[in-house]
Chains A and B, each alone.
Chain A
């Protein structure tokens, strides 16, 4: 290997992220002895395709995105690390959000409304909430009046704020429904002064969903995989400021993870695809 290629996203709601990642890049470069190049993907799909095709060596993928890669290339890509929070939790949550000035207070109030999902490849913003709605006896294909795809968490919130959507579902972490949350696109946007979180109401919080994984190509040298896993795992202990700069919560750490931890999400995605291939349900009243 002549260089390490790392695909990232996240600059949409935090443009300073790329700048702050320069210290992370320098840290990984020193660890591997190789230049580290950051490839900025426009969205989840950009990261999925870049790691599946082998254009990059490492990236971070949420469960559904990893499930997509797994379906494409199987063992050629493997999860190696995920985040464990200070309280020992290894998951995050999906929040159904509505505007706080709306009449939407509970999931049932969303019947017939416009629902904005994040992305077909989003775990928290599409796959997981649809599965959990089915568990509640709600068919997400018929329950809403209209469904749209925003393209990203930030876009989903902006569309909710502007009234394009009546509700959206996005990721939140750094806590749980009892303690509250601190991480997620709408918190990041609020800290940048772009919105006020009080303008939104959490209608339903579901989870935990297995945390985002660091995934790597398995056709790279084993030494490279071991060094990357070791250097990343050591980061919160040796360089806590860089760790926080990458957007990770204080008190959290990386732990080793395998495909097995994402089996549920892989199964959910497969189930979703089977339903999609089967086509839309028959219209009401059709025989």
Chain B
């Protein structure tokens, strides 16, 4: 899809736009065409919403599986596909994730931070296998979510040695500093809260080092080609993140690839395969 980069400018807005071609997985693969009238009401509502808001025609293109859809996406035969990591990996150089769906019980894809004492050379998850870890609490933000994030990287609950549940992030940091644990696991918000100082340029964690930081991997994500115009990409994100409020029937169908869907949320480019995430420090 090659829509104009300045679609907000009136003259360019009048330029006819190419259709948005969406990959669908079906046991009856077929060429791209307008959404069938026999589709369920949710699907019709979704495609109608996209057509209206993107001011273009929507075509659906059926493929037998996600791998085939990914290949067609990379080859420029479709513009958008829902992929998993296995389908995405071979086309990662030409495509990127833009959206996933947050499941209602989950917090979203908040980054987890694994910190060690400064000077400790175990500055990656592999080196911390069997190490004792302290968590900042036992609720979903301080325990469930970081555990899920680490499990995505192959560090399941039994990956580490002794696991200590502290009363708070501050307590966890104290235990790490006291040598009661080799590493501390927090969500990114708690890490920053305990480290950012109250004096100019003060950072209270100079004695600690981040061994790993990363978001949970997306299990499935909406993927587009890297050459999709920014305007179209952001428009798609803007339409989808509000869909559960603006068009719930369309959302219920479009987000059904995740159990208990709560909302679409944006992703970084490599959300399906990421091994770590950029952070501020």
A residues bordering B, Cβ < 8 Å?
1-2, 30-34, 80, 84-88, 174-175, 178-180, 182, 187, 190-193, 196-197, 221-231, 233-234, 237-238, 240-241, 244, 249-256, 258
Contacts and interface: CB of A to CB of B under 8 A. Distances in A.
23 contacts: A31-B234, A34-B9, A80-B242, A84-B108, A174-B192, A179-B169, A190-B199, A191-B198, A193-B199, A223-B8, A223-B55, A226-B234, A227-B234, A230-B239, A233-B238, A234-B234, A249-B189, A250-B191, A251-B192, A253-B108, A253-B266, A254-B241, A256-B245
A250 to B, nearest CB: 4
A253 B198 contact: no
B36 interface: no
Contact of B7 (A33, A84, A87, A233): A33
Contact of A30 (B13, B190, B230): B230
Contacts, number: 162
Contact of B193 (A174, A230, A233): A174
Interface of B: 5-9, 13, 53, 55, 98, 107-111, 140-141, 168-169, 187-193, 196-202, 230-231, 233-239, 241-242, 244-245, 263, 265-269, 271, 277-280
B266 A230 contact: yes
Contacts of A191: 196-202
B281 to A, nearest CB: 9
Nearest to A33: B6
A237 B266 contact: yes
Contacts of A228: 238
Nearest to B271: A237
B140 to A, nearest CB: 8
A192 B200 contact: yes
B231 A225 contact: no
A251 B145 CA distance: 12
B245 A88 contact: no
B271 to A, nearest CB: 8
B245 A258 contact: yes
Contacts of B5: 33
Of A196, A234, A253, A254, which is in contact with the most chain B CB atoms at under 10 Å from its CB?
A234
Contact of B8 (A30, A33, A256): A33
A85 B265 contact: no
Of B266, B269, B271, which is in contact with the most chain A CB atoms at under 10 Å from its CB?
B266
